[in-house]
C-alpha cells in the first residue's frame, strides 16, 4: 500500500501525502443534497483494450451484466457497454489494467433533483405547483 501511495503521489506530482489531507473537505455535503439525476456510464475504448475480460467478469458477477461481447465487422472481438443498463458503478473501470481503456462519461441532463427535494415533494412539504426540478446552470 505504501508503494502504491508513493506511485500515486509521483504520478500526480504531489510532494507529500500531507498535501492530500483535507483536499476533499470542500466537496463534502450531506448525501441528501446530491443530484439524483447525475449519471455516468462506462465507455470501452476497444483500440486500447487488451481483451483481458476483467471488466466483463466484474460487471457480470457483481454489477448489472451490461457489457456485451461482440464481434466487429472485421471479425475482431470487442466489448460494448449497454448504456441504458449501466448504473455507472465504476467497477469495470477500477479493475481494468489499461489506462484509458474505459472512460466514465457523464450523461448530459438539464434537470437536477436532490433526494431532500424529492422527499419534500412526497411528504407534501412543498406547495402545489412549486417548481421541484431546478434547471442546471
Q: Choose which of 17, 98, 132, 133 interacts with ligand SF4 (CB under 6 A).
A: 98
57 binds ligand SF4 (CB under 6 A): no
99 binds ligand SF4 (CB under 6 A): no
Question: What's the rounded Cα separation, in Å, for the pair 8 and 26?
Answer: 22
Applying CB under 6 A, what is the total number of residues that bind ligand SF4? 29
Closest by CA to 117, choosing from 130, 106, 100, 103, is: 130
- For the record, the C-alpha cell of 1 comes out as 500500500
51 binds ligand SF4 (CB under 6 A): yes
Q: Choose which of 20, 68, 80, 101 interacts with ligand SF4 (CB under 6 A).
A: 101
Question: What's the rounded Cα separation, in Å, for the pair 19 and 4?
Answer: 16
Sign of CA dihedral 54, 58, 60, 66: negative
User: Count of H helices and E strands in the chain?
Assistant: 4, 6
9 binds ligand SF4 (CB under 6 A): no
Where do contacts with ligand SF4 occur on this chain (CB under 6 A)? 42, 44, 49-55, 58-59, 63-64, 66-67, 79, 81, 86-92, 95-96, 98, 101-102
Amino acid at each position: 500500500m505504501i508503494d502504491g501511495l508513493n506511485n500515486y503521489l509521483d504520478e500526480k506530482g504531489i510532494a507529500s501525502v500531507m498535501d492530500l489531507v483535507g483536499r476533499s473537505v470542500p466537496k463534502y455535503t450531506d448525501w441528501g443534497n446530491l443530484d439524483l439525476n447525475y449519471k455516468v456510464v462506462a465507455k470501452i475504448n476497444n483500440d486500447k483494450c487488451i481483451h483481458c475480460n476483467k471488466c466483463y467478469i466484474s460487471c457480470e458477477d457483481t454489477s448489472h451484466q451490461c457489457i456485451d461481447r461482440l464481434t466487429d465487422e472485421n471479425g475482431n472481438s470487442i466489448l460494448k457497454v449497454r448504456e441504458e443498463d449501466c448504473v455507472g458503478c465504476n467497477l469495470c473501470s477500477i479493475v481494468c489494467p489499461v489506462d484509458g481503456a474505459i472512460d466514465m462519461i457523464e450523461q448530459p441532463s438539464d434537470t437536477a433533483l436532490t433526494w431532500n427535494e424529492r422527499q419534500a415533494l412526497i411528504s407534501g412539504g412543498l406547495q402545489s405547483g412549486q417548481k421541484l426540478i431546478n434547471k442546471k446552470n
